Structure 1
Amino acid sequence: MTACHPTSRPTSRPTTRPATRQLARWATPAAAVLLLSACTSTDTTTPTSSEVDGAEVTAGQVSVQNCGRTVTLDEPAQRVVSGWTTSTEVLLAVDEGDRLVGQYNSANGTPSEEYADALAEIPVLSAAALTREQLAAAQPDLIWADGEYLFDGSQLPTIDELASQGTQVLVLSGFCGDDATAATVEDVFTDLDAIGTLLGETSATEELADELRERLDAVETRVADQPETPLVFIADYDGVLYTYDGVYTDIAEKAGGHNLYAGELPPGQYYSEISREDVLSRDPGTIVLLTGPGADTEAAVAGLSELLPGVAAVSEGRVVTMPESDSTNLRVVDGVERLSQALHP
């Protein structure tokens, strides 16, 4: 079925997933029939077809593999809903912001200065998780989601249900399923390739990927002969400390550091609560303090001094602040660069 579109186009904190609640169905059977009648193409030309990764793709369609699924659109996406601030920035970076009809989770990310003004013009469907009603009002043909957790058939329709209604879901590749421990810096290239294909703009995303690769290569060259700096990632929430693994460990390694908690968190978890005593026993050379949107970094560092006065990194001023957003998409490369400069000035 060819989807109908209007003529216009558009904390690092361990977050508890929004409680699901039973909402109205995505569309009533009668509405579905009307939609099919209005949107089904009358073209009787027999299209040619080919296979992409084992799935048949008709000429004119665009298709990618994502989280073990084949995501196929009858034509490049024209109406996109973004589920993460850094994903929104990618579309702005390749000059495709006019395809954005909405964003959600907007309160959970800090826009970069480069894209802040343009991002503020994108309609906010929800500052947090999205509801069925908000999604239906936006009428997207593609949702670029931060994970699969919302598509449970209760909070939102399942991914398969949405596909049957003409809306496809692309998930950030490091956040497939419930386990984000396998996320890496390299995911940015997988995701750029996928979104470029689904937008029909692979030349723009390939050019951007080349620029990012050059920046990462430059960091690798600069820190190649430097000793690894032992460090820990910490977030402080009302005096409760958390540490991180997953993509943060990869960021550290590429920046010339070593995460002392790498591989030590409970299976399947990329964050975990830790005690002050445990941090003190490891006595890291550097602490990377992750900060959320609108955080007062000076106050955050001062608060850490009160919580961990016996840790050398704190008492000797080796605390590096890092925005939580520097962990996905374009911003993960920013994170590698900034951390490498802090560890090896």
Structure 2
Amino acid sequence: MRRLLALVAALTLAACGQAPAPRQQTETASAPQAGFPVTIENCGRKLTFDQPPSKVVTGYHPSLETLLALGLGDRVAGRTFFGESAFLPGQKEQYDKIPQISETIMLPQKEVMLAQGADFVLDNAMAGFDAAGGYAGVEELHAAGSPVYILGGWCSPEETLQYTLDKTFTDIQNLGKIFGVSDRADKLVSELRSSLADVKKRVEGRTPVKVLATDGGKGPVNAYGGSGITQQMITAAGGENVLKDVKGDYTEVSVEQVSAAQPEAVLVSDYATLRGEDMPSSPAKAEEAFAVAKNSPAAKDRRYLALPVAAQHPGYRNILAITDIARFLHPDAFAQ
């Protein structure tokens, strides 16, 4: 089994298609709701909603987490699999109540997906809609009355590299409009922005800590370059990515490059319970990093943080993770 993150990173391999056909109208029209219809643009497509979705299917877990943060768990009719640990506080109970429709983090195959009769599909990448992989396509789902929204602007490999934190705020506000809960969305965005402002104030003026973000590997090393979510989180938390000049997000770098980078701290992608011979634990991956950069300050201090891989994909959690990273990098800034 290849590393899970390699699979999740592959979720961006299928680019968005052309604008799909207009959403079909239901035979029985219901009374219009205040604030509707709502039209949102996503991945170059315009999605129009005559009423809030009530039968939602979510893909990889960060998409579900984001809806739960907005108090919309009762709208979710089906979800994909997520490990037994690394849940955000209070969300495991809600997760358990939602029917699981896939044994993996990916959406189910085409026939199963279409049979859900969803009126909204939320995910954070495009591979779950790749016809070549046996999945229902974005246009196909749209025509069936199941419009698809992709979080974080992860609509193509190129757009994945262009991610900024503001895109998560935009997603939350768009979801607020789609579900008719803009007040909740605005409140959540305000709370998250306040959290980021607090981190910025605490780390401002401090020397950035040199960080290696890795997914393990003794050579080449699976690591995170100077584009994408992980880069954004490290910078916002008062760190400096030692591979910031490496093009790309999740990529491979040489042992020599990592050794020369002299990191002061290491972030390790953690996969909760999804481990095995080909999926080493976070401590094991940290030891691999220390062995590669054996003369670095990070190796001498054995300094690493296990970062849930769900936080490295678009959704509510990647904003929360910035505080955790900042506490790890600058503990004295949070002493008071």
TM-score (norm 1): 0.79
Does residue 1:315 correspond to 2:284, yes or no? no
1:159 aligns with 2:151: no
SS in 2 for 1:14: helix
- Residues 1:251 and 2:218 are matched in the alignment: no
**Greater displacement, 87-96 / 151-160:** 151-160
CA distance in 1 between partners of 2:182 and 2:121 (Å): 18
Q: Answer yes or no: is 1:81 the counterpart of 2:61.
A: no
User: What is residue 271 of structure 1 aligned with on the other side?
Assistant: 250
DSSP 3-state at the match of 1:216: helix
| 1:308 CA displacement | 4.0
* Alpha-carbon distance in structure 2 between the residues aligned to 1:234 and 1:330: 22
Percentage of matched positions with identical amino acids: 23
Indicate the SS of the match to 2:77. strand
Using the TM superposition, give the Cα deviation of residue 84 of structure 1 relative to its aligned residue in structure 2, in angstroms. Answer: 2.1
Pick one of 93, 96, 103 that aligns with 1:120.
96
Task: Determine the C-alpha separation between the residues in 2 that align with 1:203 and 1:42.
Answer: 26
> Residue 263 of structure 2 corresponds to which residue in structure 1?
284
Structure 1 position 198, deviation (Å): 1.1
**In structure 1, what is the Cα distance between the partners aligned to 2:39 and 2:299?**
49
Question: 1:342: which partner in 2?
Answer: 328
Superposition deviation, residue 258 in structure 1: 1.0
Question: How much does 1:280 deviate?
Answer: 0.7
Whole-angstrom distance in 2 between the partners of 1:134 and 1:257: 44
**One-letter code aligned to 1:247:** I
Q: Distance in 1 between matches of 2:171 and 2:117?
A: 23
Is 1:141 the counterpart of 2:119? The answer is yes
**Which residue matches 2:17?**
none
Output the CA distance in 2 between the equivalents of 1:116 and 1:42: 36
Render the CA deviation track for 1:56-96: whole Å, top value 9, x for unaligned.
Answer: xx983222111111111221111111112122122222221
CA distance in 2, matches of 1:108, 1:120: 10
> What is aligned with 1:104?
80
Name the structure 2 match of 1:301.
286
Aligned length: 303
Aligned counterpart, 2:147: 168
Quickly say closer, same or farther: Cα 1:98–1:42, change in 2 above 3 A: closer
Shift of 1:337: 0.3
Question: Which residue identity does 1:144 align to in structure 2?
Answer: L
Whether the 8 Å contact between 1:76 and 1:199 is mirrored in structure 2 is yes
Which of the residues 167, 185, 193 maps onto 1:187? 167
Match of 2:28 among 18, 41, 45: 41
8 Å Cα contact 2:290/2:302 also seen in 1: no
Aligned to 1:29: none
1:309–1:42 CA distance, 2 compared to 1 (3 A) = closer
Change (3 A) 1:144 1:238: farther
Output aligned runs, 1:196-235, within 5 Å.
196-235=176-215
Gaps of 5+ in 1: 1-10, 21-35, 48-57
d(CA) in 1 for partners of 2:309, 2:140 = 32
Distance (Å, rounded) in 2 between the aligned partners of 1:300 and 1:312:
17
Closer, same or farther in 2 for the Cα pair 1:205/1:188, shift >3 Å? same
The question of whether the paired residues in 1 share the 8 Å contact of 2:153 and 2:163 is answered with: yes
Change (3 A) 1:42 1:210: closer
Between 193-202 and 156-165, the greater mean CA deviation after superposition: 156-165
Post-superposition offset of 1:108? 11
| Alpha-carbon shift at residue 189 of structure 1 (Å) | 0.3
Distance in 2, Cα, partners of 1:325 & 1:111: 10
Query: Alpha carbons of 1:109 and 1:182: their partners in 2 closer, same or farther (altered >3 Å)?
Result: farther
1:324 and 1:109 map into 2 onto residues whose CA distance is 12
Q: Deviations over 1:272-324 (max 9, x none)?
A: 11222211111112221221122644444345444543333112222222221
Q: What TM-score do you get using the length of structure 2 for normalisation?
A: 0.81
CA distance in 2, matches of 1:148, 1:108: 25
- Aligned counterpart for 1:60 among listed residues 17, 30, 36: 36
How far off is 1:17 after superposition? 4.0
Say which of 318, 325, 332 aligns to 1:332.
318
Q: In the alignment, is the contact (CA less than 8 A) between 2:210 and 2:265 conserved in 1? A: yes
Q: Which letter does structure 1 place at the counterpart of 2:323? A: E
Residue number in structure 1 paired with 2:21: none
1:109–1:285 Cα change, 3 Å: same
Structure 1 CA distance for aligned equivalents of residues 39 and 242 of structure 2: 40
Q: Cα deviations across residues 225-282 of structure 1 (Å, max 9, x unaligned)? A: 11111212111158752111311111111111111212412xxx31111222211111
In the alignment, structure 2 segments of 5+ residues that lack a partner are 14-23, 276-280, 332-336
